[in-house]
Structure 1
Amino acid sequence: MLVAVALVGSVLTACGSGEGSQAADDAPPTAAHTSAAPSLPVHDPPATFATKGAQLPDELLEDILDLDNRLVGPPPVTLYGSTAYVGAFDHVQAIDTTNGHVTATIEPAGKALVDGDGTEHKAGAPAIVTISGAPALVTPFLVEQSGTGTQASHEAVELTVSDPDAAKVRWQVTLRLPEWADDPSTELTATAVGADGNTGVVTVSHDNSHAVTYGIDLTTHRRIWTQDGFAATGIAQGTAVGWETENNEAHAAGHDAATGAPRWQGQSMVSQTVSALGPHFVLLQGGHWGSEKPYIQLLDPATGKTEQQLLPVQLSKGTCVYDEKSTLVCHGTGSDTDDDVAFGLDAATGKTLWELPDQQADRIAPEITTAWHGRAYGKTDNGPVALDARTGQDLPTSPQIAPVLVNGSAGLALTKVDGWKTKLFVYPATG
């Protein structure tokens, strides 16, 4: 499956007497303040990667590999310069992509939740946003809000904002989670969805049954809004898009990112996924009630209406990624076979630019793994390949790897070790 890097009520009571933030200078030590890795020469986009890489922690692949060793979800990793920020529910590690060394660890100021009795908490990738013109690393941690006297303890989410260049905590704010999160058997996932202007959006969810999303002012460090029952998965056109539950049914939905006010709600679906796909579209996948026949659609983020440009039916078993420039690159399997199909779509109109396989040109479709800045990456039985994202034409140089996440300094790719074990490695970009 293709992986996009991208990114998932009632008023809740914050920690202590009010929702406040704690400046890093006043906080207890929460990070090993070793400087993050210095930036290497940037290749925009990379044409080649080193053939030798550094293995990343095995935990990153838990629950996101299928039986064919394909990714079914994105690893909780964000690339920033030559640093890979690796997320977990109770810490973030800064890893030098040139050698795999951990250069810093960021931890919450509060008491982190612990796994136990079969419960495993998870985290999405940290988010890089801009606050007052400066880059910032946004990470939600799952923590315990300790009770005092007759006041009971509760689960909470601590939003930590750090300097991504030095991996140093700037400030933190803690928000109490709804009562459904207090059940010790509830497995929680905390996700930094992103930001719209000065509003940061964070979601904590449990499977597809419970979720809560917060909007936080990143300049005043205070909560602006809360939507219990809504899980944001992305932001586009000022809209936090995702899914919400109503009467035990899941619906695609959009809320104003600045205020949390509802903008639209879609029809109920089976096994739905909703994600922002660049600045102009929402990607909606699900199954029809009764038949559970799969479908895939592009929606307008502001209204939730289906765009007239329909996605090719072959992509109902696939998904798409925005190359962060001008193109949506999609991968799936044929409706009647399991053969790979690939499409390039204009990111502004949804119009099909190219498609593979192309029998007249004697070209097969690669398994697309990601796309970035005009270049699509993937693999065939002949090895790793790179395509021009706008035209679909083969580029002359093999990238050496098929990255699932890439920036100008490095790429992450699945690699077999000892002939059968699938591991996640990071490879420096070389050209």
Structure 2
Amino acid sequence: MVATTAVTAALILLAGCGGDDKKSASGSENNGGTTSSSPTPSAPAFPTFDPPKAFTASAAYPVPDYDGRAMFDDPLVGMVGQVALVANYRGITGRDVVDPSTAWEVKSTAADTTTVSDATKPMAVKVDGKDVAVMAYAEVDKGNGTQKPQGLVLVQWIDVASGQKLAEVSTPVSTVDGTFGSPELKSAQYDPETGQVAIGFSAGDRLIVKTRFATVYADPMTKKSTVVPGVLPGAVHNGVFAGAKAETKENANDAGAVLVDGASGKVTKQIPLKQGSVEPLTGGAKHAFFYGTLYSSNTMKDVGSLYSVDLSTGAVVKSAPGLPDGGGYDCTSDQAGSIVCWDSVPTGHHEIFGFDDSTGKKTWGWTTESGQRVVPRVTAASHGVVYVQTEKQAVLMDAKTGEDLPGASPSGTPSGSPSAGETPSDSDSPTAGATPSDQKSAGGSDMSLYDGKLGSPGAVSPYGGVYTQLPQGGGFGSSDIRAVLVYLKPTA
């Protein structure tokens, strides 16, 4: 990826927010450096639902473009507690949805000699009981004085209530010659209960640990990291992570998995899967999930298999994917015992399926070849609900069974007027649209930016959901806006 250098436009969710880090648009900064705003007397209670099953489009914020943005630097959304998040290579910005006048920004790097080449989505965790967003960045430090350029993996833990960094760990991972050797993030796993992360990366043949890829394990409590060579993470929980390990040599067919003690970096268990290649998917509190392929001389094709690995014992459960020639899978956890996966190939046949984290077994799934149901695009999952998008509408699904969930009755706009959006069916639509208006709120929302076509949320919490749409309508000129962040207020 092309490294980002200049940052002349602030990555802010609103038009009127100042450019200083962690500063409110209309509030003041106290001695502790946190954001604040004047309290509103007798404010109505904010609706929360866990998980939310119906929404109304409540706010739309411009995400400004900035000079020097890399080609692949697209906005990444998150929802942590009552704070809506959007991030890219420049950094992460938060907007309190209960008090929209409060906003903050934390930049990915403060050094002029450092550029960012990759970033993860915001990850929602708890640290000391606080709602915390975790961001990981791949960076290149061009060097200061006699120091040689080096690649870094930077991890930040940010208290979303204040916009303050609770912890930050920067780990050298590669040597750099020009753009060659810049780290590329391959897999990001996190423990929502502890904030511990395992970030997989590669950097050609320039890794300090002399392997093609490796994992940085980092802990917000110790503020320390460990580099584990030759492993890409599939799950992390309570200081232990499971990872995929490649073949020892070409055609050895001995690719497998390992269990690793994160703090020491010591491999505590080798788990042979006897595959040609093994890719990490994602994991829950009890299992990590992997996709393995092995070349068959009979069919002259790769045969795919799905594996779960128990994080405590290393026990393995094997199952078969629905597509004979799958090209890989992406997965997400609902943080309540279910893992939902879908094929990562944009063309051809498609597949969706679910795992039970308590058993490690595949429990449901279907493909476009079965002809019974449409394979939707998964956008998020939370506490038993999977949020998906079909060609026509947003849909809710049961994370345990894969069945469609009944949608709530269409909700109104924030003012109570009828929706101008597409009318959802009573059987499978979780959301209702809002009528765009030219009115701009004091908190920086501009609903004229909203296109009126409500989409499935890309991230959710009990306080609602967020997603991005392409810019259109009023506000900034379209060339000044990279995207529009749409906030969905929960109604059921």
TM-score scaled to structure 1, two decimals? 0.68
CA distance in structure 2 between the partners assigned to 1:166 and 1:365 by the alignment: 42
Residue 161 of structure 1: which of 149, 154, 157 is its match? Answer: 157
Q: Deviations over 1:169-194 (max 9, x none)?
A: 2344443x134346533332467643
Aligned to 1:218: 220
Q: Deviations over 1:217-263 (max 9, x none)?
A: 5334334x322343435314753233455667776544223432113
Give the unaligned 5+ runs of structure 1: 1-28, 66-74
Residue aligned with 1:259, SS: coil
CA distance in structure 2 between the partners assigned to 1:192 and 1:354 by the alignment: 25
CA distance in structure 2 between the partners assigned to 1:108 and 1:145 by the alignment: 15
Aligned to 1:234: 235
Q: Does 1:281 align with 2:287?
A: yes
Seen in structure 2, the aligned counterparts of structure 1 residues 114 and 127 have a Cα distance that, compared at 3 Å, is: same
Q: Aligned pairs, how many?
A: 383
CA distance in structure 2 between the partners assigned to 1:55 and 1:134 by the alignment: 26
One-letter amino acid of the structure 2 residue matched with residue 234 of structure 1:
A
Give the unaligned 5+ runs of structure 2: 1-18, 25-34, 40-44, 206-211, 409-428, 432-454, 474-481
CA distance in structure 1 between the partners assigned to 2:391 and 2:195 by the alignment: 45
CA distance in structure 2 between the partners assigned to 1:367 and 1:212 by the alignment: 33
Aligned to 2:373: 364
Deviation at 1:152, TM superposition (A): 3.7
Residue aligned with 2:180, SS: coil
CA distance in structure 2 between the partners assigned to 1:384 and 1:424 by the alignment: 18
CA distance in structure 2 between the partners assigned to 1:356 and 1:246 by the alignment: 31
- The 5 A counterparts of 1:97-116 are 103-107=103-107, 110-111=110-111, 114=114
CA distance in structure 1 between the partners assigned to 2:264 and 2:234 by the alignment: 16
Deviation at 1:158, TM superposition (A): 4.3
Q: Does 1:374 align with 2:428?
A: no
Residue aligned with 2:175, SS: helix
CA distance in structure 1 between the partners assigned to 2:249 and 2:112 by the alignment: 30
Q: Deviations over 1:26-54 (max 9, x none)?
A: xxx99334338999532211122224653
CA distance in structure 2 between the partners assigned to 1:112 and 1:248 by the alignment: 41
Identity %: 19
Aligned to 2:356: 346
Contact 2:287 2:309 (8 Å CA) reproduced = yes
CA distance in structure 1 between the partners assigned to 2:274 and 2:176 by the alignment: 24
Aligned to 1:31: 21
One-letter amino acid of the structure 2 residue matched with residue 411 of structure 1:
G
Contact 2:84 2:487 (8 Å CA) reproduced = no
- The 5 A counterparts of 1:283-298 are 283-289=289-295, 291=300, 293=302, 295-298=304-307
Deviation at 1:372, TM superposition (A): 1.7
One-letter amino acid of the structure 2 residue matched with residue 144 of structure 1:
D
Contact 2:126 2:192 (8 Å CA) reproduced = no
Deviation at 1:306, TM superposition (A): 3.5
Seen in structure 2, the aligned counterparts of structure 1 residues 384 and 207 have a Cα distance that, compared at 3 Å, is: farther
One-letter amino acid of the structure 2 residue matched with residue 399 of structure 1:
P
Residue aligned with 1:215, SS: strand
Larger Rg over CA atoms:
2
- The 5 A counterparts of 1:292-331 are 293=302, 295-302=304-311, 306-313=316-323, 316=326, 318-331=329-342
CA distance in structure 1 between the partners assigned to 2:83 and 2:375 by the alignment: 29
Deviation at 1:373, TM superposition (A): 1.4
Moved more, 96-105 or 164-173: 96-105
- The 5 A counterparts of 1:4-83 are 31-34=21-24, 35=35, 40-51=46-57, 54=60, 57=63, 63=72, 76-83=76-83
Aligned to 1:427: 487
Seen in structure 2, the aligned counterparts of structure 1 residues 204 and 111 have a Cα distance that, compared at 3 Å, is: farther
Aligned to 1:69: none
One-letter amino acid of the structure 2 residue matched with residue 79 of structure 1:
M
CA distance in structure 2 between the partners assigned to 1:174 and 1:413 by the alignment: 29
Seen in structure 2, the aligned counterparts of structure 1 residues 227 and 356 have a Cα distance that, compared at 3 Å, is: closer
CA distance in structure 1 between the partners assigned to 2:189 and 2:122 by the alignment: 8
Aligned to 1:384: 394
Residue aligned with 1:274, SS: strand
Aligned to 1:9: none
Contact 1:344 1:389 (8 Å CA) reproduced = yes
Aligned to 1:186: 181
CA distance in structure 2 between the partners assigned to 1:238 and 1:126 by the alignment: 20
Residue aligned with 2:490, SS: coil
Residue aligned with 1:293, SS: strand
Q: Deviations over 1:331-385 (max 9, x none)?
A: 4599xx9565544543322456555589xxx962340413321222223344222
